[in-house]
Every structure is written in C-alpha cells, then in structure tokens.
A and B are shown apart, each in its own frame.
Chain A
Amino acid sequence: MPADEAIVQLIQAGRAEQAFERLVPAYRRRVIGLAYSVLRDRAAAEDLAQEVFVKLWRALPRYDGRATLSTWIYAITRNAAISALRTRRRSVSLSDPAVLAEVENREAAPEPGPGDAALWRHVEALPEKQRQAVILYYQDERAVDEIAAMMGMPVNTVKTHLHRARASLAAALATVGGEFP
C-alpha cells in the first residue's frame, strides 16, 4: 500500500510525529472496524480505537519493519480488543436483570435502518469468528486477504467463515422473509 510505504519511510527517517499524522486517517476505519467486530459496541470500539492510536504513537519510533505496518497495527488492535472484551466480561454479569435488559435493548447495530434490527440479531447470533469476518468484509468491501491479516488467520479460513456466515444469514432470511423488506 503506497500510504504505508510513505509512513514507514517517515518512521525510518526519524519523523514519527509526521508518520503518526498520516497513520491515523489511513487506519481509522480499519481499527474501528476491527475493534467493533470484537466488542460489538460502537462507543466502546471508538474508545478502544483511541487507546490503540495512543499505543501506536508511543510505539511508532520503535517500529522496526519486521512485520508489515498493517499486520503490526492489526495485531496491536486485536490484542487490545480481546483484552478489553475480557475485562468487560469480568465486570459485567448477565445474571443481573438490569444488565440483561440493557444488553437486550441496546442499539448494537451501527446505523440501524428499517428491518436492520432483525438482521443484526442474526449477525449477533453467528459464531464469533464468522461475525467478525462478516463485519470486516462488509464494512469497507475489503479483500479477503486483508481481513485474514486483520483477524490473524489464514485466507482460506476467512473464506470458510464468510461462506458459512452468508449461508446461515441467507437461511435466516428465507425463514423470516417478512422481516427483510
């Protein structure tokens, strides 16, 4: 990616601040998408994305180019998201009726349109990896190999997850056709 090359050149020239100024807009949507695919909460994903960019700002001068820039950023984002998810799971108990009600009523989908709530419920019901692959794939129509890099898994595994997710969702669409205008 040409933007990545320019960023890496700036880092290698010791101009990490300028590199960071270019990195944030270049990776904003991808970091948000990856965080959201794990956390499934838009506000939490945005907070996490901010933390990730602060981490990147601190670590950028030490970036040695052994991994590609995108792989390095995705690994940091993925680890931060998984860690945040673990913390949230520890601190939230679904046996608490108030928390359960909040989870059921929360506006989980990014921009719900007519009938989207039902579709979102089906996406939510997918296994974790399938759901992540679907969100990342449809967020920006990314290539499967980029999603594989973001999720840290082989390309064929991502293809399988996407295929299974589409089949599940299509089956749900066929079953509850009325819910999908």
Chain B
Amino acid sequence: MNIDEGRLEARLRRLFGSLDARAGFEERVMARVASLAAQRGTVRTDLRAQFERRRELTRRRLRREAWSNGLGIAGIGVAAGALAWHYADVIGRWLIEPAASGQVDPMLAASISLMAVGAAVALVLWRPSRLLG
C-alpha cells in the first residue's frame, strides 16, 4: 500500500466511522413499538367483544328454536295420543290382534321399524347445543 492509499484508508474511516443514528434512536424505536403494541391490544379486545356478542346472539337464537321445536313436537305427540285414544278400537283390531295371534303384516312391521330407526337417528343428530361451542 503506498502513502496515498494509507491516507485514503484513514480518511474513509473518518468519513464513515461516525455513521450512526441520532441520539435517542433506540428510545424512539421502543416508543413506536410500544404504541403499536397498545393498538394491537385494543384491536384484540374489540375483536374478542365482537365475538362474544355474536356467540351470545347465536346462543339465544338456538335456545328459541329449541323451545319452538320442543313445543311443536309436544303438540304433535298430544295430537297423536288423542287420535290413538279416539281410534283405540281400530288400532286394536289392526295392530294388537294380529300381533297376539302371531300374524304380523310384513309391510306394517317394516314401516314401524323404519319409523323407529328414523326417530333414533333424528335424536342423535339433532343437538343444537353442539353449535354453542
């Protein structure tokens, strides 16, 4: 390295050696990050409140639907009971007498079995409480 290059090295070190941020840079970064963290916290709280509101509304709607469905089923049950009571003679002749004599109509037995299976499946699947989470 000749003398000019040695001087050049020293000049370049002097020129760029002082290259740094102004005083307080780290404090400014930390303040900015703290402000962003606070904003992020507020957004998170808002989202959580919104989620809770929606969840409560869903819970109420499902409860209402469960009540109306229950009332509907109870009504149908009462109507079916009243009809069975009213037509007890006919039902007795149609169902109980053949059963007692061991002569069950295959179509009737298949229909009753199908109804029982359908009711069981409906009971298993119909659980609005699962949607409440």
Q: What is the CB-to-nearest-CB distance from A124 to chain B, in angstroms, rounded to a whole number?
A: 12
With A119-B12, A169-B8 given, is the CB distance from A57 to B33 under 8 Å? Answer: yes
**Could you tell me the distance between the alpha carbons of A42 and B21 in the complex, rounded to whole angstroms?**
8
Q: Chain A 44-63, CB within 8 Å of chain B: the 1/0 string?
A: 00100110011001000000
Across the interface, B32 reaches (CB within 8 A) one of A54, A123, A170, namely: A54
Contact residues of B between 30 and 70, Cβ < 8 Å to A = 30, 32-33, 36
Q: Are B20 and A134 in contact (CB under 8 A)?
A: no
For chain A, give the interface size range: 35 or more
Residues of chain A lying within 8 A (CB to CB) of residue B8:
166, 169-170, 173, 180
> Which residues does chain A contribute within 8 Å of B15, judged by CB atoms?
109-113, 116, 119-120, 123, 138
- Dominant SS at the A interface? helix
Q: Answer whether residue B131 sits at the interface, using C-beta atoms and an 8 A cutoff.
A: no
A141 at the interface (CB under 8 A from B): yes
Q: Report A84 CB to chain B, min CB distance, Å.
A: 16
- The answer to whether residues A20 and B4 also contact, given A28-B26, A119-B15, A138-B16 and a CB cut-off of 8 A, is no
By DSSP majority rule, is chain B's interface helix, strand, loop, or mixed? helix
Q: Please choose the segment from A7-15, A29-37, A74-82 that sits at the chain B interface, where 4 or more of its residues have CB less than 8 A away.
A: A29-37
User: Chain B contacts of A119 at CB under 8 A?
Assistant: 11-12, 15
Known A119-B11, A141-B13, A169-B8: A36·B19 in contact at CB below 8 Å: yes
B25 at interface, CB cutoff 8 A: yes
- A148-171 interface code vs B (CB 8 A; 1 in, 0 out): 000000000000000000100110
Q: Are A54 and B33 in contact (CB under 8 A)?
A: yes
Q: Kindly state the separation between the CA atoms of A170 and B35 in the bound complex, as whole angstroms.
A: 49
Interface CB pairs A-B, < 8 A, 17: A21-B30, A36-B19, A49-B25, A50-B32, A54-B36, A57-B36, A111-B19, A120-B15, A123-B15, A135-B16, A138-B9, A138-B17, A166-B8, A170-B2, A170-B8, A173-B4, A173-B8
